[in-house]
Amino acid sequence: MFPDRPLSAGAFAPDALRGCSTRAEALAALRAEFTRAEIDSPALDARLLLCAAGGFGGADLAREPDAALDAAALERLRDMAQRRTLGREPVSRILGSRGFWSLSLAISPAVLDPRPETETLIEAVLAMIGSRRDEPWRMLDLGAGSGAILCALLAELPNASGLALDRSEAAARIARANLVQCGFGDRASVVVGSWGDSLAGRFDLIVANPPYVCGDAIESLPAEVRDHDPRLALDGGEDGLDAYRAIARALPALAAPAALFALELGAGQAAAVAGMLHEAGGDALATRQDLSGVERVIHGAFVGKGSPIISATPLGEREKRS
């Protein structure tokens, strides 16, 4: 039930789709409505929701824009539009899936909605691995959520195997379903646990997109994030660094000799996280920027506490030289 209140920039006009009988008319009306409601990507969101409501693809829309849109599809579209404008629910959550890397992944309220900036981590890992893609990497994805990172890496590393770990049983079910759907069910497994506490064994590659938002900053996040991503996947504690401390403590027990690791970062966290990782035995630390210029990923190799330094690559120096 939507509250009875005056129409605002964030509300959906009840008559916005009235009189629309074709795909093109509905698309134009919805795009205009999303623009008025200050949706960030009105044209894209309108097209995705229209195709989903009508049960056709983007190519069908382009080929037959004047095809009729029946009443049932129009009603579905109206409901989706209300969710997008009034509830600020992301399109990916309305549709129950998100495109990530080259894959289509299921999402639910139990998991973080995978975002394009997380693909920076996949790029960083592949750059570290270089010509070694065919090796039998043993991978660990800490706080796996939907399993997006592990699925993407398994798609790129044909002989790798992986373990996804998450504190949430509901998230673990989504990760398992995505691994199976993507064809990686026989190369990966999923367990429920906290930052490696329940694991035994050593891994050649450790990745994570941990919660890194300061607890008191969550309420200031965009509604699409604040109201729809699980707090467990957002809240990094008072300073946003609690998960990194836990990962750094677990790293010596989880990393095989010369293991590689890559962690997603929040803005401004690189130096603090680098200190933790170096103290835990990490070396050759460097960062990788996302498309917005934010230091989004920190990566390196594990040499162990007290081991001699393999190389002394300054944080961020690789980006300066590239």
Per DSSP, what are the bridge partners of residue 100? 103
- 151 and 28 in a common domain: no
Angle, in degrees to the nearest 10, between helices 23-36 and 71-85? 10
Same domain? For 17 and 139 the reply is no
Residue 283 is part of which domain span? 108-321
Distances (CA, A) of 133 to 160, 208, 253, 255: 9, 19, 25, 19
132 and 54 both lie in a single domain? no
Higher pLDDT: 319 or 168? It is: 168
101: left (phi over 0), alpha (psi -120 to 50) or beta: left
The residue among 309 and 72 whose pLDDT is bigger is 72
Do 76 and 115 lie in one domain? The reply is: no
Burial class of 299 by CB neighbour count within 10 A (0 to 12, 13 to 18, 19+): buried
Task: Classify residue 93: in a domain, yes or no.
Answer: no
For the chain, what is the mean pLDDT? 90
- Has residue 70 been placed in a domain? yes
Residues 80 and 215 in one domain: no
| Structural domains of the chain, count | 2
Is 60 exceeded by the pLDDT of residue 183?
Answer: yes
Give first-to-last CA distance, the chain, whole Å.
Answer: 53
pLDDT at position 319 is: 39
What does DSSP assign to residue 287? Answer: E
- What is the number of H-type helices and E-type strands within the chain? 12, 9
pTM over 0.75: yes
pLDDT digits (tens, 9 = 90+) for 209-227: 999 999 999 999 999 999 9
Shared-domain flag, residues 228 and 145: yes
Asked if the model's pLDDT at residue 125 lies above 60, the reply is: yes
In a domain, 92, yes or no: no
The answer to whether residue 182 is domain-embedded is: yes
User: pLDDT tens digit string along 240-288?
Assistant: 999 999 999 999 999 999 999 999 999 999 999 999 999 999 999 999 9
Helices (H), 9-105: 23-36, 42-54, 58-63, 71-85, 91-95
Question: Is 103 a member of any domain?
Answer: no
Residue 242 inside a domain? The answer is: yes
Q: What's the confidence (pLDDT) of residue 14?
A: 56
Answer yes or no: is 100 within a domain. no
Same domain, 147 and 286: yes
The whole-number average pLDDT for the span 293-298 is 97
pLDDT value, residue 18: 84
What is the CATH classification number for the domain harbouring 262? 3.40.50.150
pLDDT tens per residue across span 17-45: 888 999 999 999 999 999 999 999 999 99
45 and 181 inside one domain = no
Same domain, 167 and 270: yes
Residue among 4, 1, 38, 34 nearest 17 (CA): 34
Query: Could you tell me if residue 98 is inside a domain?
Result: no
Asked if the model's pLDDT at residue 320 lies above 70, the reply is no
Cα–Cα distance measured from residue 52 to residue 55, given in angstroms and rounded to the nearest whole number: 5
**176 plus 313 within the same structural domain:** yes
79 and 166 co-located in one domain:
no
Task: Kindly give, in sequence order, each residue whose CB lies less than 8 Å from that of residue 3, ignoring residues fewer than 6 positions away.
Answer: none
pLDDT at 16: 81
* pLDDT of 193: 92
**Given 29, 57, 87, which residue is the final one in a domain?**
87
Same domain, 195 and 266: yes
